[in-house]
């Protein structure tokens, strides 16, 4: 049993991505009092695209891509950025946070199914057990934090959230299978740029720019975080993780998102933390570790070195 540093690094990239996405709910909540959801999306993509462009220029990377891969980038940008974010922003107008957290947990399940069908990845008993544990942990964290139980009804918000989870699964599998011969940084830049172009009409429709003058320095700080870390770095690192790990394994890190949201809410919003939520978080982490199998080899490697 050996510790694979490359796979561990990929797991770390996925964890960082999910951490940023989890905290994004807190930053979004802080800004939505002044901005409508669609104006927020435009600013996120704009800031993210500019940040990624600066990184590319600093690293002196070529910005041009072969016309052969333009359709690939268009598909990924539309699915992973524009459609995904608009679906979630619209869905969250009509459903509560607990229900949203539960429905997001469907995405890894969809990803596993699609990975088996199109990437020929295998479904093992260990992977299934880890998923069951993680889903159980999500239930404990999301319902106790919001004080509400998951309730399904014929609501357009539920349908949109389910579609967003299926859409994210399709995006992850496509990003893995298309094998575009460019760095994840360059791919993420073009996706963010496309997201900005496609959402720009929304800010004109709602005259969202009129609210910008009312934003405080604190709210601008939240916007910068959402643009740079959530729309920029998180998508970039997700792509780096998919370069190494199976799509089904990377998707399992989505179950860590409620933990990141819980920690951010406690630290930044002074929300109460319940013991059952902590237990749920531990269960989620165990489930993800079981599926990815990174921690046990690492500990074995460290123990072996100490004995030598």
In this predicted structure, what is the pLDDT of residue 292? 59
Instruction: Say if residues 176 and 247 touch (Cβ distance below 8 Å).
Output: yes
Q: State the pTM of this model.
A: 0.77
- The sign of the dihedral angle between the CA atoms of 252, 198, 91, 209 is positive
- Local confidence pLDDT in tens for the 308 residues of the chain: 444 568 888 889 998 998 898 888 778 777 877 788 778 888 889 999 999 999 999 988 888 899 999 999 999 889 888 888 888 777 767 765 555 666 676 677 777 778 888 877 776 777 677 777 777 776 676 665 555 544 545 567 777 877 888 898 898 888 888 888 899 999 999 988 998 888 888 777 767 667 777 788 888 998 999 999 999 999 999 999 988 888 877 877 877 777 777 777 777 766 666 677 667 767 777 776 676 555 444 444 544 544 54
Structural domain boundaries enclosing 148: 5-307
Give the single-character DSSP code of 2: -
For residues 249 and 173, give the distance between their C-alpha atoms in angstroms, rounded to a whole number.
Answer: 11
| Residue 300 tokens, joined | 């074995």
Q: Identify the CA nearest to 147 among candidates 56, 29, 277.
A: 277
Q: How many domains does the chain have?
A: 1
How many residues are given for the chain? 308
């Amino acid at each position: 049993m050996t510790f694979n540093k490359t796979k561990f690094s990929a797991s770390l990239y996925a964890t960082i991505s999910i951490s940023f996405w989890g905290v994004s709910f807190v930053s979004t909540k802080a800004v939505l009092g002044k901005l409508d959801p669609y104006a927020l999306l435009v600013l996120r993509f704009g800031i993210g695209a500019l940040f990624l462009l600066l990184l590319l220029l600093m690293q002196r990377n070529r910005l041009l891509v072969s016309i052969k891969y333009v359709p690939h980038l268009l598909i990924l940008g539309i699915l992973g950025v524009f459609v995904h974010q608009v679906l979630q922003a619209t869905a969250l107008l009509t459903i509560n946070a607990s229900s949203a957290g539960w429905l997001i947990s469907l995405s890894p399940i969809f990803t596993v199914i699609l990975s088996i069908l199109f990437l020929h990845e295998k479904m093992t008993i260990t992977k299934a057990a880890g998923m069951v544990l993680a889903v159980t942990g999500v239930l404990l964290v999301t319902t106790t934090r919001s004080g509400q139980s998951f309730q399904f009804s014929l609501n357009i918000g539920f349908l949109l959230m389910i579609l967003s989870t299926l859409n994210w699964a399709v995006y992850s599998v496509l990003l893995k299978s298309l094998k575009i011969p460019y760095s994840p940084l360059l791919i993420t830049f073009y996706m963010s740029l496309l997201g900005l172009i496609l959402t720009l009409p929304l800010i004109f429709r709602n005259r969202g720019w009129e609210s910008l003058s009312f934003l405080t320095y604190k709210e601008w700080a939240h916007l910068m975080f959402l643009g740079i870390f959530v729309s920029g770095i998180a998508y970039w690192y997700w792509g780096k993780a998919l370069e190494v790990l199976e799509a089904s394994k990377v998707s399992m890190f989505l179950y860590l998102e409620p933990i990141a949201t819980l920690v951010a809410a406690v630290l930044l919003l002074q929300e109460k933390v319940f013991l059952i939520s902590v237990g749920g978080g531990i269960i989620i982490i165990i489930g993800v570790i079981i599926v990815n199998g990174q921690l046990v080899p690492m500990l074995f490697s460290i123990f072996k070195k100490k004995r030598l």
